[in-house]
Chains A and B, each alone.
Chain A
Amino acid sequence: MRALILTLRILGILILAPAAGGLLTGLDRVVSARMQRRKGPPILQPFYDVMKLARKQSTTVSSMTRYFVTLSMCFNIFTVLLFGLGLDLMLCVFAFTLACVFFVLSGYSSNSPFSFVGTERELVQIMCYEPMVLIVAFGYYQVSGSFNVGDAFRMGSPAVMRLPFIFIGLLYVLSVKLRKSPFDLSMSHHGHQEIVKGVITELTGICLAMVEVSHWFETVFALGLVYLFFVYASPASWAAALALCLAAFLMETLIDNAFARVKWKLALQASWIVIFVTGGVNLLLLNL
Chain B
Amino acid sequence: MKYAKKSPWILHYDGSSCNGCDIEVLACLNPLFDIERFGAINTGNPKHADILLITGAINEQNISVVKQLYEQMPNPKAVVAVGVCAATGGIFKDCYNMIGGVGEAIPVDVYVPGCASRPEAIIDGVVKALDKIK
Contact = CB atoms under 8 A, between A and B. Distances in A.
A45 B7 contact: yes
B74 A205 contact: yes
| Tier of interface size on chain A | 20 to 34
Given A36-B31, A52-B1, A201 B47 contact: yes
Given A48-B7, A52-B3, A208 B48 contact: yes
Nearest to B38: A41
A99 B128 CA distance: 40
Interface in B1-42: 1-4, 6-7, 30-31, 34, 36-39, 41-42
B47 A203 contact: yes
B76 A56 contact: yes
B45 interface: yes
Contacts of B48: 197, 204, 208
A38 B74 contact: no
A201 B36 contact: no
A191 B41 contact: yes
A215 B30 CA distance: 27
B45 A38 contact: no
Interface residues of B, number: 25
A49 B36 contact: no
A208 B9 CA distance: 13
A39 interface: yes
A204 B34 CA distance: 26
Nearest to A42: B39
B64 interface: no
A85 interface: no
Tell me the dominant secondary structure on chain B's binding face.
Answer: loop
Contact of B7 (A52, A196, A203, A204): A52
A192 B39 CA distance: 16
A107 to B, nearest CB: 14
A38 B31 contact: yes
Interface string A22-58: 0000000100010011111110010011011001111
A57 B47 CA distance: 10
Given A52-B6, A193-B44, A41 B36 contact: yes
A218 interface: no
A39 B32 CA distance: 9
Contacts of B61: none
A59 interface: yes
Interface of A: 29, 33, 36-42, 45, 48-49, 51-52, 55-59, 191-193, 196-197, 201-205, 208
Given A38-B34, A38-B37, A39-B36, 8 more contacts: A33-B34, A39-B37, A41-B37, A42-B39, A48-B39, A56-B76, A191-B43, A204-B47
25 contacts: A33-B37, A38-B31, A39-B36, A39-B37, A40-B37, A42-B39, A45-B6, A49-B3, A49-B39, A51-B2, A51-B3, A52-B4, A55-B1, A56-B75, A56-B76, A57-B75, A58-B74, A59-B47, A191-B41, A192-B44, A197-B48, A201-B45, A204-B48, A205-B74, A208-B48
